[in-house]
Chains A and B, each alone.
Chain A
């Protein structure tokens, strides 16, 4: 569905660098595709003026024979929680409507330094709180395969954009599955790198110990290239780690990779159609030479509880900055306290309020030890269990979500039911390891994603295996 408009990212860059087409033409093509697909509501705003300016700069650079970068003229879409200098950045929340970013997200700066051009901002669940974009304060993104179904979330707009072929790639963030789940729902590749590999500077914070930036693309090779252009230490983000000196790219597979199917993810709650596709993908891996075993991660059933204590706690802290004093929506009131309360009550949507309150509760005195500290300690257990698993196998696999993209409105009014969809993705964020969702066929016409998980900082591997599915 997606590659009908664009070739691989490397091919598209070559077209511009070689003079076969111009960056301006590429940008215009993307903007036209965006305009023609507005019914899917994947996009919040376009950066037409800015993008064409950049394209002009790049085209003159190329004309004068200077190197244009590995992503020369490649248009891309960024989730609207990435700050784009001089352009509106809303996090799909009313509290940031009209907010013009005073600086650039490092991830975007690095991609643009390689010649890529950001052309639009994608829809998301407000502040990335959600798995469907139904929590966006603006609109819900429709699944490109079935308009009555969600595109997933919170990077739903980004995933839908790539599935529709609006641009060769998009940027998303993944705190509990927000790149992998929409990638799975839309039938595209979604990579969540190791925590700390890509700078979070300029990305609106949700949960600081789990937020990760990653690409959504058509192929694993494209994902590796985008990661390679972004990865590495950033002075502006003290939680960034060193990049692999050999960089990130598609690598030939290990001779006989040992792959563990996560037992706890293949249980009762899995939709039969999804199970069928996962089983099929695993048998393909076996045919390609992999050794398949079953692995158990005993603390996995607790991972969702750990997540919904730790993450709201961090959210409540990160969202305290929205007080109407320095930026964003500001309610008029007499006292400072009134301004705080009215600004936040009027500006935030229901899900943000829910998470702030849960977070405040679990961090409050009397409850801190029982909830937050306990959760972070079970986190230690999960980390150890994953490390143990990786001494036995090279990779872990399983589904991304227990079901395919659900109907819009199906989980409305039941936040806990919505949280349960995250059951297969959250543990990976708590532990900080990399994972990728790759298309693994369809169930009743809707895409199914296979999740491949690797140890922290392990390069390529995930990328290589993706090729075999």
Chain B
């Protein structure tokens, strides 16, 4: 689970989280008994669908430079990331 979440845990953390998460998952599992015959899942409560806007560029007054200022490593206008294939 940690790997899938891109988290690296210490052995201590694994033990602690294991017992905590088991307790939590045990609690939520009592949803099993609920009768949901004939019902569909609800993913959002507004009832809105396909909210679109015209495909026109809107200037929000923020430059690319400003948006990139928090990037840890840049190269020109690009975001530099670590090697993916080693």
Structural contact, A374 and B17, CB atoms closer than 8 A: no
Check if A305 sits within 8 Å of B71, measured CB to CB. no
Across the interface, do A330 and B83 meet the contact criterion of CB distance under 8 Å?
no
The answer to whether B57 has its CB under 8 Å from any CB of chain A is no
Contact with B along A201-239 (1 / 0, CB 8 A): 000000001000000000000000000000000010011
Nearest B-chain residue to A103, judged by Cβ? B62
Flag A348-365 by CB within 8 Å of B: 1 or 0 each.
Answer: 100001101110111010
A416 at interface, CB cutoff 8 A: yes
Instruction: Kindly list chain B residues whose C-beta atoms are within 8 Å of the C-beta of A304.
Output: 27
List of B residues within 8 angstroms of A407 by Cβ? none
Pick the contact of A325: B4, B29, B36, B81 (CB < 8 A).
B81
Name A360's contact: one of B4, B69, B71, B73 (CB within 8 Å): B4
In the bound complex, how far is the Cα of B1 from the Cα of A231, in angstroms? Answer: 39
What residue of chain B has the Cβ atom nearest to residue A353's Cβ?
Answer: B7
Contacting residues, chain A, for B51 (C-beta < 8 A): 238-239
| B28 CB contacts on chain A under 8 angstroms | 305, 308-309, 362, 371, 375
CA distance A186 to B4 in the complex (A): 39
- Known contacts A103-B60, A316-B5, A344-B7: does B46 contact A378 (CB below 8 Å)? no
Cβ of A266 under 8 Å from chain B: no
Contact of B27 among A99, A305, A370 (CB under 8 A): A305
B76 within 8 A of A: no
User: For the complex, what is the distance from the CA of A348 to the CA of B17, rounded to whole Å?
Assistant: 14
Q: How far is the CA of A361 from the CA of B30 in the complex (A)?
A: 16
Judge whether B75 is part of the interface by a CB distance below 8 angstroms.
no
Distance from B8 Cβ to chain A, minimum over Cβ atoms (Å): 4
Complex Cα distance, B41 from A375, in Å, reads 8
Of A168-176, A269-277, A335-343, A440-448, which stretch is located at the interface? Answer: A335-343
Chain A contact residues, CB within 8 Å of chain B: 99-100, 102-103, 195-196, 209, 235, 238-239, 241, 299, 302, 304-306, 308-309, 316, 320, 323-328, 330, 333-342, 344-345, 348, 353-354, 356-358, 360-362, 364, 370-371, 373-381, 383, 415-416, 419, 431-432, 456
Known contacts A238-B48, A357-B17, A415-B20; can you find 19 more A-B pairs with CB under 8 A? A102-B67, A102-B70, A196-B45, A308-B28, A323-B6, A324-B72, A336-B82, A336-B84, A344-B6, A345-B7, A353-B9, A358-B21, A358-B25, A360-B1, A362-B28, A370-B32, A377-B39, A379-B42, A432-B46
Q: Which residues of B contact A (CB under 8 A)?
A: 1-2, 4-9, 13, 17, 20-21, 23-25, 27-32, 34, 36, 39-46, 48, 51, 53, 58, 60, 62, 66-67, 69-73, 79, 81-84, 86
